[in-house]
Structure 1
């Protein structure tokens, strides 16, 4: 169930969710951040220089082999407190209705978020990183190396954002 802190703003549109899920996922750990409430989270992962900790469940530690050689990682995480039924949203910082798939909001059918983080250190099952925007205790889905050669698209444009 969605966190009541998210609420539905004027102008937002919801839909009924499907009765059944199509797939399952494993949470591989938790993300530790300084933010306990939605209002405290940065609106953009790049807007914060807070050092956060990724705590991997012990059985996944062998998968960290050579992660310490990466300067940056892509973290995929599950925004478990976000509503999943919004199809039109009115973000507070913009005040204009947009489709969920035109936004990076955590409120979406599958609340999967991603951030490119700077890796500071690896200590056992803990990764010290900078560049997150999620609540403390957010479930971790995956860790991938960031490849500037393939992951960066310098000419990418979000048209509505350039018009703000």
Structure 2
């Protein structure tokens, strides 16, 4: 259990205790240099600044799905942030003056703790199920839900903003 901050709100029922309504499977795990939350970078920009790469290990049955992934310079990784609390619906980030709804944040604490990471593809060994990436902002052993190629032509919006957010 964790302590809530002033202004935070918990759900009445912890989603981790509810029956699942989808058949999500983990297709592999992330090999990361980060073993504690305190050391783990808060986002991919901070992870890149460390200069420490990561690896994704894909389980045997899913390795044929890696065919042609080398055509992508960058990949989108969906992970399951299995250490994050799932019942915190209103959060007060340390840097924020006010509490915010979970769906207005990129925090790992959410009803379904799905992580979204865009990484540069550095290496691919389909037979071994190894994907080398430039950086990662999750703990070692984090489960992987999916991998997709990143398409700058459709995934990037230069005009995208979040009001009140400093995007330095």
1:25 and 1:141 in contact (8 A); partners too: yes
Name which of structure 1's ranges 41-50 and 7-16 shifts more when overlaid on structure 2: 7-16
**Map of 1:25 onto structure 2:** 24
Q: In the aligned structure 2, how far is the partner of 1:150 from the partner of 1:7?
A: 40
What residue in structure 2 maps to residue 148 of structure 1? 152
Structure 1 residues 89 and 150: CA distance shift in structure 2, 3 A: same
Matching residue within 118, 121, 145 for 1:116: 118
Distance 1:114 1:10 in 2: 28
State the shift of 1:8 in Å.
Answer: 2.3
What CA distance in whole angstroms lies between the structure 1 residues aligned with 2:33 and 2:135?
Answer: 12
1:132 paired residue among 113, 136, 154: 136
| Distance change in 2, residues 1:7/1:127 (3 Å) | farther
- Show the counterpart of 2:54: 52
Change (3 A) 1:92 1:115: same
* 1:122 CA drift (Å): 0.7
Structure 2: unaligned runs, 5 residues or longer: none
Q: Residues 96, 42 of structure 1: CA spacing in aligned structure 2 closer, same or farther, 3 A cutoff?
A: farther
Deviates more, 1:25-34 or 1:36-45: 36-45
- Per-residue deviation at 1:87? 1.1
Structure 1: segments with no counterpart, 5+ residues = none
Question: Is the alpha carbon distance of 1:92 and 1:42 closer, same or farther for their aligned partners in structure 2, counting shifts above 3 Å?
Answer: same
Bigger mean CA offset, 21-30 vs 10-19: 10-19
Q: State the distance in 1 between where 2:20 and 2:85 align.
A: 16
- TM-score, normalised on structure 1? 0.90
1:20, CA displacement in angstroms?
Answer: 2.3
The structure 2 residue matched to 1:158, chosen from 151, 155, 162, is 162
Aligned partners of 1:12, 1:35: CA distance in 2, in Å?
27
CA distance in 2, matches of 1:152, 1:140: 23
Alignment map for 1:4-15 (pairs within 5 Å)? 4=1, 7-15=3-11
